[in-house]
Amino acid sequence: MTTLIFHKSSYSNGTPEGACVEVATNVPALVAIRDSKRPAGPVLHLTPGAWTAFLTAAARRQPGR
């Protein structure tokens, strides 16, 4: 079993109570996402294609929509 290596979002403000996600991309065919405040909590697993589609959609989102 491969250990997931999580990285905090570059938008994190660095405080423990800050709202942040962590992403692990070190396993082929898997992107793992978790809440940085709950590292032992649930982890969302996506395919790389689903992760790319999510990022593309998030980048297109207009504020206030």
Range of 1-5, 23-27, 58-62 with top mean pLDDT: 23-27
- Describe the strand order of the beta sheet including 31-35 as a list of residue ranges: 6-8, 21-24, 31-35, 44-46
Q: Is residue 54 part of a domain?
A: yes
pLDDT at 62: 62
Domain span including residue 36: 6-60
Flag whether 50 is in a domain: yes
Q: Give the chain's domain count.
A: 1
**41 located within any domain:** yes
Does 10 have pLDDT greater than 80? no
Identify whether 1 is part of a domain: no
Percentage of the residues of the chain whose pLDDT score is greater than 90: 48
Domain assignment present for 37:
yes
Q: What is the token pair recorded at 63?
A: 């504020």
- Quick one: residue 27, left, alpha or beta (phi over 0 = left, psi -120 to 50 = alpha)? beta
Q: Is residue 26 part of a domain?
A: yes
pLDDT tens digit sequence for 22-53 = 999 999 999 999 998 888 999 999 999 999 99
What is the number of other CB atoms lying within 10 angstroms of the CB of residue 25?
Answer: 15
**Do 9 and 29 form a contact (C-beta atoms < 8 A)?**
no
